[in-house]
Structure 1
Amino acid sequence: MAASASAQIGPNPCSPVIDAPASDSTVPQDFRIRILPGDFSNCRIDEIRYAIIETASDGQNRTVFFRKSDCCEFMQTGHPLVERRAPADKLKPGTNYVVQAQFVDRTVDLYGGIDHMRAELGPIAVIPVTTESSDMRTRRHGDESTRLDAMVFALDMAGRFGHGRAASEADARRTALDFCDATNCRIVSEPTRNRCHALAQRTEGGYWWGVGADERLPEAEGKARGFCERGHGGTCDLVYSYCQ
């Protein structure tokens, strides 16, 4: 789909508007995604779909993130239906992406006395962006102590988890809870600004977990396993690790 299509999508009924990021902008890997409906007065939305797609010069585009969710109990002018951070661990620096958003209207039709669910797909909004290169990020944040983002884990204490990374600790917490995606998820430790972060878990016979942070990945992973296995003496699985 041509990137120029984003400029042609106006506030038609059930057309999404990507309020952030700005089209053709250079963004950090954890850039903000903000999606609103174009017309509150005449819009039916039962589902929201949005994605981040890596666009390559050879035409081999790759979806790196996709989310869909039911919608909407209420809508209010100026209030976003989606507001979150992009998953920084899934994006690469200095890379072209497009952000896409689409609304779905589900309608029940009656055929031969039987209800049939029909999904009507609305227009797709498209915003092209480019992530900052590594050297841009260094220049923007300054010295090593300030350029590393805050990172934190959220857990539901049953195996589901979310990892958040952002410039501010508050945004890192919100992102972690968003990716954990369960009502009982909670932040399990203070945000860290170490380079690497890891999580180990064991769900057999109960639930145990351990989080490790360090400047090097092997040390962070070792700490995560060590903290987890200290609780019960068994073996914990390393389920997630990431270095910024």
Structure 2
Amino acid sequence: MAKEKVVIITGASSGIGEETAKLLSGKGAKLVLAARREERLKELKQQIEASGGEAIYQVTDVTSSEEMESLAKYAYDTFGKIDVIVNNAGLMPLSLLHKKKYDEWDKMIDVNIKGVLYGIGAVLPYMREKKEGHVINISSVAGHEISPGSSVYSATKFAVRAITEGLRMEESVGNNIRATIISPGAVSTELTETITDDDVKSSIDAVYSGAIKADSIARTIVFAIEEPAEVAINEILVRPTNQEW
């Protein structure tokens, strides 16, 4: 059950992170909200508290190992434990390789890969000491399938799956730390707003015209969390019914 669990959520200011926070709060979890936009975090904290929930927040850049370490320490100092981290922060500025959008490639690698690694690194000492914990990493259907324009994004999401499976193999036996990969398809969030390549944008907009709501992924995350400690949900893909790839 999620009740009384301390859950860190990155990318909590909108989309999947925000909906997950609201759903977990209703189930009695204690939320540690992280993102870069303080005003959005403050509003979400107020909404959760107005509904009788408990939440704290810290403005955090997931590409900084120091800030992620600080976030984990804040969570532990406040609540005395860390049960779950949802590494949700991500970027998807899709583009064709010949456009050479180096800055966008770098940002995806920093947020989508390093951000996940820094989240794992920050919480592992607390979870290993407790001999229990749960790391949930948000990958993507693009971590299973590649399409024109998704080369770098898909690479980062394949990496998330590899990292998560490595974590499972290293930490599940002996430390009882569960590792879960959630791979969404088209979800109605801000993710597509970072696409600057017009040759890719139109085809992605067509796919996202049938996008499902972010709370669909939130329910999937909560399902994985609420399984008993001896049960590990290792990987789930969640697509719109009418999404082909």
The one of the two structures with greater contact order (alpha-carbon pairs below 8 A, sep at least 6) is: 2
Q: Same fold (TM over 0.5)?
A: no
Using the size of structure 1 for normalisation, the TM-score is 0.21
Q: Which has the higher helix share?
A: 2
Q: Which has the larger radius of gyration?
A: 1
Q: Which has the higher strand share?
A: 1
